[in-house]
Structure 1
Amino acid sequence: MENILNYIEINELISTSGQPSVEQFKQIADNDFEVVINLALHNASNAIENEDKIVTDLNMAYFHIPVDFENPKASDVKLFLNTLQALGSNKVWVHCALNYRVSAFMYIYHKYVLKTPFDDIDISLFEQWSPDVTWQEIIKISYDEIKNA
């Protein structure tokens, strides 16, 4: 799994990455993942055509929550959090183009859902990607703003 772009294991049920290849989706399925959530736009530079079919043909469920990298919204965060929580104990792989959108959303998930202490959250990708003002606002979003989105 470590060969997948910007791979991060969150816990035993959730892992994240940048865009996996077709072969890597097979590896993900072989590692008992049941669900794939894609936060990238369908026209991202490294998007895979028919990703939904590829994933579902591997017997995994597929959710596409397209988040505009230039204009992420509180409603995107709300849909992501609700989707992830609804999946309960399913083993979930979350990806976007480079794992930047996902890292920001997972930070929010850690903060409000898992209530993970800050020092225990893997923010290593923030060293590689410096979130601009728009993403900083999303990362700092309050739980009330998410609920009311």
Structure 2
Amino acid sequence: MSAGPSDPADIRAWQRLDERTTTSGRIVAGDVPRLAALGVAHVINLALADHPEALPDEAAMFAAAGIAYSHIPVPFDAPDETHLAALRTALREGPQPVHVHCILNWRVSAFFYRLHRERGMAEPEARALMAQIWEPETSANPHAAAWAGFVGRAG
């Protein structure tokens, strides 16, 4: 699904999945009020806090904007089922609309591929959404095999 007319498509790897769910790569300080203006009620971050492109004090910045915040740090070389379970819980229990991000939107797109498949989305449709961001099976990234395996566990 493409960005809506008021979506900040200049945020790295922005993707609107539905009316209640958006995703992206890294967030910068100026994006916090932009997400608030869109009505985002909850931000979930899958990136590691010590990544060089991570936004320092991200949780505090979103709290100051009145946005709930969840951090589920997913090591890029080792995504696992506990991370997916934590994301399921955060999505189910947190307020909506939600914005989920990491650094490049690679983690997020792979996780949503799995979620889409669990929720009954046809494989080609789920694959096409992920492929708008990246394709772990064909990526030259040294950790892509871990992600191809993670994606391959979809039912």
Q: Using CA pairs below 8 Å that are at least 6 residues apart, which structure has the higher relative contact order? A: 1
1:18-97 equivalences in 2 (<5 Å): 18-87=25-94, 90-97=96-103
State the alpha-carbon separation in 1 of the partners of residues 41 and 90 from structure 2: 14
3-state SS of 1:22 partner: coil
Q: CA RMSD in A?
A: 1.8
Q: What is the letter of the counterpart of residue 134 of structure 1?
A: A
TM-score (norm. length: structure 1): 0.87
Q: In percent, how many aligned pairs have the same letter?
A: 28
- The Cα of 1:62 is off from its aligned counterpart by 0.3
Q: Any idea what the Cα deviations from partners look like across 1:16-64, whole Å, max 9, x if unmatched? A: 0001111111100100000000000001121111000001101000000
3-state SS of 1:80 partner: helix
TM-score (norm. length: structure 2): 0.84
Alignment partner for residue 109 of structure 2, among 103, 118, 133?
103
State the alpha-carbon separation in 2 of the partners of residues 5 and 71 from structure 1: 23
Q: What is the letter of the counterpart of residue 134 of structure 2?
A: F
- The Cα of 1:119 is off from its aligned counterpart by 3.1
Structure 2: runs of 5 or more not aligned? 1-7
Runs of 4 or more above 6 Å deviation: none
Q: Partner residue of 1:147?
A: none
Matched, 1:133 2:145: yes
Q: Any idea what the Cα deviations from partners look like across 1:73-121, whole Å, max 9, x if unmatched? A: 211111112221223x6100000011000000010111103x2223333
- The Cα of 1:142 is off from its aligned counterpart by 4.7
3-state SS of 1:66 partner: coil
Contact in 1 for aligned 2:36/2:65 (Cα 8 Å)? yes
Q: Partner residue of 2:13?
A: 6
Q: What is the letter of the counterpart of residue 62 of structure 2?
A: V
3-state SS of 1:26 partner: helix
3-state SS of 1:76 partner: helix
State the alpha-carbon separation in 1 of the partners of residues 145 and 124 from structure 2: 23
Alignment: residue pair count: 141
Q: What is the letter of the counterpart of residue 126 of structure 1?
A: W
Q: What is the letter of the counterpart of residue 83 of structure 1?
A: A
